[in-house]
Amino acid sequence: MKKKHFNFAPTIALIMLMATSIFTSVFTSCQSAEKKEENAEKNVEKAKEDLKDAQKETAVEQQKEASADEWKAFREATEQKIKDNDARITQLKAELKASEKANDEAYKTRIEGVEAKNKAMRERMSNQEKMKSDWESFKREFNHDMDELGQSLKDFTVNNKK
């Protein structure tokens, strides 16, 4: 369930506007009407700027929440892919033991290589979770590497020897 957080920025901007208005009315009581109007216009412009700043801060906060949700979904999907890869690697090892390829060192080496890549992907995911830097770049590269790893696992069933 998504928690709603009350954002104090618009409230603070409104309080600042009210305080400025009160101060201005006391301060400008001795000024000419023309000067009062000029000061009032400045106050309105300042209040508009404060409101825009508060709205930007709110948008940034909402973006952070969306990124956290996006990160959680990405992490869960990736963990599932890594578990699927582990299952496929276990299956390949079992097939290796049960077949005439049991003495095929190249096949064993390929399985170990894929297993090491899968473990490295798990570690990269864990490290990214701690650092959370350059999210878009990480996501693009990580997905590319996961796709390559998945293709490597699929290619085990293809016999390249003629």
Confidence category of residue 49, pLDDT binned at 50, 70, 90: confident
Question: What is the tens place of the pLDDT at every residue in 117-159?
Answer: 999 999 988 888 777 667 778 888 999 999 999 898 888 766 5
What are the extents of the domains in the chain? 9-157
CB 55, CB 124: distance < 8 Å: no
For the segment 42-51, the average pLDDT, to the nearest whole number, is 84
Question: What is the tens place of the pLDDT at every residue in 63-84?
Answer: 555 477 888 888 899 999 999 9
Question: What is the tens place of the pLDDT at every residue in 77-128?
Answer: 999 999 999 999 999 888 888 877 656 788 888 889 999 999 999 998 888 8
Amino acid found at 138? F
Look at residue 56 in the predicted model and tell me its pLDDT: 77
| DSSP code string of 45-86 | HHHHHHHHHHHHHHHHHHHHHHHHHHHHHHHHHHHHHHHHHH
